Each structure stands twice: as structure tokens, then as C-alpha cells.
Amino acid sequence: MVEIQSKPFGKIRISERQMIRFPEGLLGFGNYKNFALIEEEEESVFKWLQSVDEVELAFVVIPPSLFKKEYVPVLNPDELSQIGIASVSEALVLVIVTIPNDDPASMTANLQGPILINKTDLTGRQYVSRNENHSVRERILESATVEMS
């Protein structure tokens, strides 16, 4: 177990399996390489991607398959090999969620910038999907409703 400071929960203990290494950082945050994937509560679909080096740097993330069943980012094999995988199906796929303070129901997900994590060695990378239909601000609740109908 490792003890870290987190933005949402203060000081917490996490397992080594929750530690994710991003050799290139995240888009716009290249200096931060070490993150922890924290589950809020067991029944919550949301997780936190918390920088281990900067307490104020934390992102809400969600598996896009929960609201967009057919979502598969378009990436080339050379990009995938950078984290030691050959196919998107080998990775844990997450997207960053933005939740407006004034209207949480209007939360959006960045489908254009998916985060893929190699499930074996816990190496991650944020990519830019080449599918032009993937929005930077996909409305989660509207997409989930459309998927369910």
C-alpha cells in the first residue's frame, strides 16, 4: 500500500495496482507522469485520475462504454505500441469528464482525447482519436439516453 494526498479525499492509501505511469504525461500536463486511479465508491461509475506529484491535479474519468456502447477510438498501431498493446481492446479505456458547477446534468466527456491504460504493466497514454465524429464535449446523459432507447 502507498499513501498519497488526493484532491477529492485528502490523504488516502492505495494499492500498487492503482498506480499508473504516463511516460509522456497527459495532454497539456506533460510534466506529470505518475497518477493513481481512485474509485470514489464501489457503486459509482466515476473514478479519479489523481496526480501523485501535484495534489491539485485530478481528473474525473469514466469508461466511455457506459454511455456510448459503440465507442472505439481510431488510433494507429504504432501509437498503441507505445504502451505495449496491439489493440484498443487490450486496454482500459477512460475519458475525462467535465462537470459544470452550475449544472451537473450537463456533464460532458472528451471522446476525442481517450486515455488508454495497459492492464498488464499499468502504463498509460492519452491519445487523440482520428474519428472526427468523436466530440471533445459529448454530453453524457443525452448520449446514455439515446443509447438506451
The pLDDT score that the predictor gives to residue 43 is: 75
Q: Is the pLDDT of residue 125 over 90?
A: yes
Domains and CATH numbers, the chain: 2-148 (2.30.290.10)
- Torsion angle, CA of 20/32/23/81, rounded to 10 degrees? 70
How far apart are alpha carbons 140 and 63 in whole angstroms?
A: 11
Phi then psi for residue 143, to 5 deg, are -65, -40
- As a whole number of angstroms, the distance between CA 104 and CA 137 comes to 14
Query: Which tens digit of pLDDT belongs to each residue from 18-72?
Result: 999 999 999 999 999 999 999 877 778 899 999 999 999 999 999 999 999 889 9
pTM of the shown model: 0.91
> Which stretch, 5-9, 41-45, 117-121, has highest mean pLDDT?
117-121
**Is the pLDDT confidence value at 10 over 50?**
yes
Q: Is the pLDDT of residue 13 over 60?
A: yes
Contact 93, 78 (CB under 8 A): no
How far is Cα 7 from Cα 149, in angstroms, rounded to an integer? Answer: 37
**117/124 Cα distance (integer angstroms):** 4
Backbone angles phi, psi at 65, to 5 degrees: -65, -15
Task: Kindly state the cell numbers that stand for 51.
Answer: 496526480
Band the pLDDT of 149: cuts 50, 70, 90.
Answer: very low
Q: Quick one: how many helices (H) and strands (E) in the chain?
A: 2, 11
